[in-house]
Structures are given as structure tokens and as C-alpha cells.
Structure 1
Amino acid sequence: MSKQKISLKGKIFRYFLTLLRLTDQPTVKVYRGFGTADRLTVFGHAFRRSALPRKNYRDIDLVNLLAVIRLFLVRPYSQALVRIQVGEQEVQTQADENGYFRIDVSLNKPLPSGWHRVQAQLTQTITSETILAEGEGNVLIPYATQFICISDIDDTFLVSHSATIAKRLLVLLTENAHSRMPFDGVVSHYQLLAQANSGPEATNPFFYVSSSEWNLYDYILEFSQKNRLPDGVYLLSTLKRLSQVLQTGKGKHHTKFDRIKQIIETYPSQQFILLGDDSQQDPIIYESVVQQFPDRIRCVYIRQIHAEHKARTESLMAKIETKGVFTCYFAHSADARQHSVDIGLVAT
């Protein structure tokens, strides 16, 4: 009798998973990483339960709601053992309590600039030949261009209403990666920045650093690809569970500074263009970045979103300018693009 009850419960649970396009099979996800010719940073998540990729983008509120909710029904594989393979080189690491893993791989043979494939295996033990799951991703070794762009996501290029939690949730839960919109003119500006003084057959790399959580990685990537934003590396914030969905996009902002700092220190020969908005902490973070790396930052762009933050933002931008860094506090992307032309960053 007991076995029948368990079996029925299991069937109902499996039906629920299928309905939401979730899988309870172990999976390993490798995000886009980055590095240099001699060293790569590879990161990802191991899951006991994860969301299957979305295939159809019907703009129906209930469908969009369920599609986002399932991203927060994931179950991390705590302390999972992960084997990373780059070419013929293999390294091993262990995920943390949230299933997140990050490892720096010192390369035996230098790699050329461009995107390179890495593979990951989820194993039972370090020496085990039993593979529970496999995944693959890509890492970027930037070309030796003059500039690297670091951009926020929400309300910088993706309309999100981050300053108002109710509006942010409404947009997130009732729209999808195909129905959401970028700000007018932002894509063309970013495409110009990707080409700014980059030389033939090379583009300036983009790093998208956000307080949005890893749950939304595929959502953000799909949006970026659909809208033809420059390919780049995405550095997001700690995974959240369903009970934390009201705090989406409210990650610890000091970790954002740390992620930006690591990028700048990884590429000591290049200058940086920082792009953000005034809805949350970007002006404060970017001013701190400029204070620590004044000679490494070429320009700071801040989109004006929140009128109540205008005076604070103008004060911070003035401090940035005292370090000899160009700034642009703008309401429309056309103004930011014209500023890039005026300072000789891009051609008309």
C-alpha cells in the first residue's frame, strides 16, 4: 500500500516537472568564461533539478509566468564534483553549497584569441569513471584591441524598471526574452563600441556584469542574441530559489565591484568603457572603480532612469571627471552615441 502511494506521488511529481519543462536528472551547465592565452576562468552550475531550454515564445501572460517561475524551481547539486576539459587538458573542482563552481585553469599550451570550447563532466567521485552529466560552454580570449566594454544589463540596455520592484516583477513575469525591448538606439551604440578602434578582423570584447541572478542566464542570453547585441561574457549574481523571487535583481552590489575589478586586472594592457544606469548602484560602483583604476577607464556612460537619483549621480560623475575620465549622463542612447563620436571613440 505504501509503495503504491509513493508511486502515485512520484507520477504526479513527474507530471508536474514535465508540465513546467523541468528535469530531475543531474545536469551541469557551463557559462561563458574568459581568460588569456595562458589562463582561463571557467564557471557554471551543477543541478539536481533544472529547467529545460525554452523552445517556443508565445506572448501569453500565463505561459510567460510559468516559464520564469520554473527558472527559480531549480535545485542545486551541492558540493558536486566537476571535471573540466580544455582540449587535451583536464582539471577537477568541486561546486559550493549552491552548486556553483569556478576554476582558473593554467594552460599547458597557449591558445589564440577568440572563443574556445570547454567541456564539463559531473562525476560521483574525483576518480570515478561514472559520469552523471555532461555539458559544454565557451571561453573568450579577447583580441589585443584598445578597449574592453563592461555593461550592466537591467535598465542599461534592457528595459526593466529596476527602481520599482512591482514594475520589475510585472515585466519579468508577464513578458519573455522575445517580447522584451531594448532601449531605442542602444544596440547600434553597442555595435559601434564593439568596433571602436578595434582593427581588422577583431572586435572589442563585451562583459555584461549584473545583479540579476544566474537563474536568468538563458533568458538574458536569448534576449541579447535576438536583439543582436555584441557577443560577450555574462557575470551574474548568486542563484535564487522560488521563495526569493521578490528579491530578483537585488544582489549584493559589492560583489559587482569585485567582478569588474577582476576583469580589469585580467587585462592590464587595455582601457575600459563602463556602461550602466542610475536606477540602483552603478554610479557608486563605477566611481569606486575609477578611484582605484583612474588610468584604465576611458569613459563612463550612465543612463538616466530614476529622477530622484539625478543629483547624486551628477555629483558622482563630477568626481569621475576629476580623474580625467570622460563621462556621459544621458536620457537617450542617441545622446550617448553622439558623445562617443565627439570624444573620438567611434566614427559617425
Structure 2
Amino acid sequence: MPYKGFGNENEVYLIGRVLRDRGIGISAIEDSRFRNFRKMYKRFMTWEIPNARIKATLDGNEWISTTNEEGYFEFEIMNHAFPKTDNSWREVKLELLDQIIPNQGVVQATAKVFIPTKLVEYGVISDIDDTIVPTGATRIWEMVKTTFLGNAHSRMPFPGVSAFYQALEKGTDGMENNPMFYVSSSPWNLYDFLMELLEVHKIPKGPLMLRDLGLSREHFFSGSHFDHKLSQVEKIFRLIPSIPFILIGDSGQHDAEIYLQVIKDYPGRVKMIYIRDVSENRRDHINEIASQISGLGVELVLIQDTIAAAKDALGKGWIRQEDVLDIIKEKTENSES
């Protein structure tokens, strides 16, 4: 199971996992709650393949990685020249070198890696839970029910989100070249589910930076929500060094605090911060953080809905007028349905 990677002209970061295929498949809009629960159960009850060698092939060059005790593998491809082109996605061929079961045959997969093109205006890093899709992340039982009983079709994004993210990906030239990254404290077990959710609701694809449930691994962060998200955002900044970023999150957890630290660690790299207002109790605290961020030369806007963010981005000249009209239309249709 390769996860979407990313990098620059000289370095690529790619991770994935080797697991027994539980036959989860894609979801359907008519799937029952029991069927959804059974699929989600399989995602968490994994059978990992440790100590397995994986070969990555790119442009005729090969690299080898070995899975750890939870089946994860990692490639950090260094000093490889990636010419800037108009195509931002490259393919890396992966092959399992070790025999795990008798008569297994060839086991291969293709990983997609994002390399920014020469036409990028800015990048976008977004949270998922309560930023793109309502999850009740601040209410544990509500979040558990939403996660285990729903599927990619029944989990509806906030109205207008899909069109807004499409507008950000297009920027002002309409070329869909601005990179989109999704950083979440959801576990890697939900990777296929979240990718399907993005595809079903036509939210632009991009690398997902999720969290490991294990406690003993070193390469994949399993610490606090704050530490995990900060480390992943800063990894993106390090590997995509030449462009500014718009950061999007929500007020339910600690996105504003994390983004404040990012600004301190990487001055001049943050273009704008949008925080969805989902917690009335934290509103005053978020405004205090916004004041601190303003003192560092960056604006944080606490938004009530997607339209507010879209109008702000339009006013700053980051998206196109015609795309804002699509956002308003989508939000109206979603709100009425």
C-alpha cells in the first residue's frame, strides 16, 4: 500500500506499508452501517508484514527499503535530478522482493510522487477533521460513531469545500498546479478511506500525512497531536522550499497554535491562515493567537463558513472570480440538499 509522496528537484520522500489484503474494496452509497463497520474493523485489524524488502525504481535507478515491525517502509531518495516540467506527478515502481507466502508471484505497486512544477503560485496545507469534513473531533463518542458507521459517500464535507479547494489548486492561472497537502492526526489505517473521500467529493488529490497508532517506531511520529502535525507541516516546508503556503485548519483542537509555531520556525513562508470556527469556547483564545501571528506579519482569519474564506482569498488576488461563483453555487446546493 504506497502512500502519495512528495519532494523537490533533488529529494523525494515516500512511505507505504506491506499488509495482508483484507479485501476491503471501495464503498458504495447504499452500504449499510454494518457493512461500513465491518470494513472499518478490517482497516484497524491489520496483518502487518515486517522485515520485508521493497525495491523502488525511478528513472532506471533502484533503492531498497525494509519494512519495520508494523509493516511500514520509507524511502528518502537523495541527490536525484528531477527536471521541472508541466507535469507535477511522477511514478515510482515498487516491488516486494521477499517471498511471504508460497507461490505468491510478483507483488508490485505504483506510487505517485508530487514534484512542484515551474508554474506553482503557492501551496496549501489543510487539516481534515472538522476542517474539510465534520467529525466531532472534540467529542470522542460522536467521532467514533462517525468514523466507524459512515463511509466516503455518507461523510459529507462542509458546504463549498470542494469548489474552494479546487479554486486554490487552480490559483489565478487556472492550471491546477498548486500543491495540496493534507495533515491529520487520523491513523494511517484510514488512508484508503480518506483518499476515497477526497475522490468521491472531488476534493483535489495530494499527499496525506497521517499518524501511526504504534508507540515504538521512530520514523513515523506517534506522539501528541501538536508534535505530529507540527513535524509533518515542517517536513513539507523543508522538502518544498521555494514557495509560500496557505494553511487551513479549525478551532476545535490546536491548529492555530501549531501554525503559530510554524511561522516562528519558518519566517516568510506562510502566506495566510484560515481557521474554521467550530468551537465557541476557544474563540477568544484563537483571537489571542491571531494577534500574536499578526505581530509576525501573517494574517489569521477565523471563518464561519467556506464562503468567507473564498471571498477573502479573492480579495487578496489568490483565486479567480469565476471560481468563487462556483463555490457559492456549490455551498448553496449542498446546504439545500
TM-score range, shorter chain: 0.7 to 0.9
Contact 1:89 1:108 in 2 (8 A): no
Structure 2 SS opposite 1:261: helix
Q: What's the counterpart of residue 313 of structure 2?
A: 340
User: Equivalences for 1:75-114 in 2 at 5 Å?
Assistant: 75-106=47-78, 108-111=80-83, 112=85, 113-114=87-88
C-alpha distance in 2 between matches for 1:49 and 1:167: 29
Q: What's the counterpart of residue 180 of structure 1?
A: 155
Residue type of the partner of 1:309?
R
Residues 82-112 of structure 1, C-alpha deviations (whole Å, 9 max, x = no match) = 1111131110011222211221113655344
**Kindly tell me: are residues 313 and 183 of structure 1, through their superposed partners in 2, closer, same or farther at Cα, counting changes over 3 Å?**
same
**Kindly tell me: are residues 44 and 75 of structure 1, through their superposed partners in 2, closer, same or farther at Cα, counting changes over 3 Å?**
same
Tell me which of 96, 99, 112 is aligned to 1:138: 112
Q: What's the counterpart of residue 332 of structure 2?
A: none
Q: What's the counterpart of residue 97 of structure 2?
A: 123
Q: What's the counterpart of residue 165 of structure 2?
A: 190
1:160 aligns with 2:139: no
Higher strand share: 1
Tell me which of 311, 331, 343 is aligned to 2:284: 311
Contact 1:161 1:168 in 2 (8 A): yes
Contact 2:88 2:177 in 1 (8 A): no
Residue type of the partner of 1:62?
F
Greater CA deviation, 40-49 or 217-226? 40-49
**Kindly tell me: are residues 346 and 56 of structure 1, through their superposed partners in 2, closer, same or farther at Cα, counting changes over 3 Å?**
closer
C-alpha distance in 1 between matches for 2:225 and 2:174: 39
**Kindly tell me: are residues 131 and 89 of structure 1, through their superposed partners in 2, closer, same or farther at Cα, counting changes over 3 Å?**
farther
Q: What's the counterpart of residue 10 of structure 2?
A: 38
Structure 1: 5+ residue stretches without partners: 1-28, 242-248
State the superposition RMSD in angstroms. Answer: 2.2
Tell me which of 206, 209, 229 is aligned to 2:203: 229
CA positional deviation for 1:202: 4.7
Q: What's the counterpart of residue 270 of structure 1?
A: 243
Q: What's the counterpart of residue 232 of structure 2?
A: 259
Structure 2 SS opposite 1:339: helix
C-alpha distance in 2 between matches for 1:182 and 1:251: 26
CA positional deviation for 1:35: 1.4
CA positional deviation for 1:263: 0.9
**Kindly tell me: are residues 220 and 319 of structure 1, through their superposed partners in 2, closer, same or farther at Cα, counting changes over 3 Å?**
same
Greater CA deviation, 49-58 or 139-148? 49-58
1:210 aligns with 2:180: no
CA positional deviation for 1:176: 0.6
Residues 259-312 of structure 1, C-alpha deviations (whole Å, 9 max, x = no match) = 111111222220010000111121111111111123110100100111221121
Structure 1 SS opposite 2:117: coil
Structure 2 SS opposite 1:298: strand
Greater CA deviation, 174-183 or 115-124? 115-124
Contact 1:98 1:239 in 2 (8 A): no
Structure 1 SS opposite 2:18: strand
Greater CA deviation, 330-339 or 43-52? 43-52
CA positional deviation for 1:74: 0.7
Q: What's the counterpart of residue 44 of structure 2?
A: 72
Structure 2: 5+ residue stretches without partners: 216-221, 322-337
CA positional deviation for 1:214: 0.7
**Kindly tell me: are residues 311 and 79 of structure 1, through their superposed partners in 2, closer, same or farther at Cα, counting changes over 3 Å?**
farther
CA positional deviation for 1:48: 4.0
**Higher gyration radius (CA):** 1
CA positional deviation for 1:38: 2.6
Q: What's the counterpart of residue 219 of structure 2?
A: none
- Report % sequence identity: 27
Q: What's the counterpart of residue 295 of structure 1?
A: 268
Structure 2 SS opposite 1:159: coil
C-alpha distance in 2 between matches for 1:67 and 1:50: 9
Question: How does the TM-score come out when normalised to structure 1?
Answer: 0.82
C-alpha distance in 2 between matches for 1:259 and 1:347: 29
Residues 161-214 of structure 1, C-alpha deviations (whole Å, 9 max, x = no match) = 1110111111111111111100011122211111223x4645211001111111
**Kindly tell me: are residues 147 and 101 of structure 1, through their superposed partners in 2, closer, same or farther at Cα, counting changes over 3 Å?**
same
Structure 2 SS opposite 1:59: coil
C-alpha distance in 2 between matches for 1:281 and 1:42: 27
Question: How does the TM-score come out when normalised to structure 2?
Answer: 0.85
C-alpha distance in 1 between matches for 2:52 and 2:21: 13
Contact 1:38 1:109 in 2 (8 A): yes
CA positional deviation for 1:42: 1.4
**Kindly tell me: are residues 52 and 86 of structure 1, through their superposed partners in 2, closer, same or farther at Cα, counting changes over 3 Å?**
farther
User: Equivalences for 1:240-255 in 2 at 5 Å?
Assistant: 252-255=225-228
C-alpha distance in 2 between matches for 1:118 and 1:300: 33
C-alpha distance in 1 between matches for 2:133 and 2:223: 16
